[in-house]
Amino acid sequence: MAETVKVATLAELKEGEIKAVSVGGIRIALHTLGTQVFATSDICTHAGCLLSESGYLRGEEVECGCHSSKFNIKSGAVITEPAVETLKTYPVKIVGEDVFVEI
């Protein structure tokens, strides 16, 4: 059964930055695009690098700083190899100023 957990407030998030949060031992990367927030796994599927530490957010794409794999933050789809496996994505809900992720 899915659980919805508060992970941040909108004030803690800045457009173009990747914020790491941990929920139940799961590393999640929060990506802010305009007024929307998207959540993906924080761990690149290619070599396990942390997107929040080495990644770059450009529009709807996050690029891993280790080997330049690119993913779509909305779907998790691989845009540029060497990664071939999609990123796990998590539903996000914003209530007032609070950001919740469903895991």
- Look up the pTM and report it: 0.95
* Residue 64 tokens, joined: 């891993």
29 and 18 Cβ atoms separated by less than 8 Å: yes
Query: 33: helix, coil or strand?
Result: strand
* pLDDT given for residue 25 in this prediction: 92
Domain that holds residue 84: 4-102
pLDDT of 50-100, one tens digit each? Answer: 999 999 999 999 999 999 999 999 999 999 999 999 999 999 999 999 999
* pLDDT given for residue 12 in this prediction: 96
The count of domains in the chain is 1
pLDDT of 5-40, one tens digit each? Answer: 999 999 999 999 999 999 989 999 999 999 899 999
pLDDT of 41-52, one tens digit each? Answer: 999 999 999 999
What CATH number does the domain containing 66 carry?
A: 2.102.10.10
In the DSSP assignment, the letter for residue 13 is: -
How many other C-beta atoms can be found within 10 angstroms of the C-beta atom of residue 84? 9
Query: 10: helix, coil or strand?
Result: helix
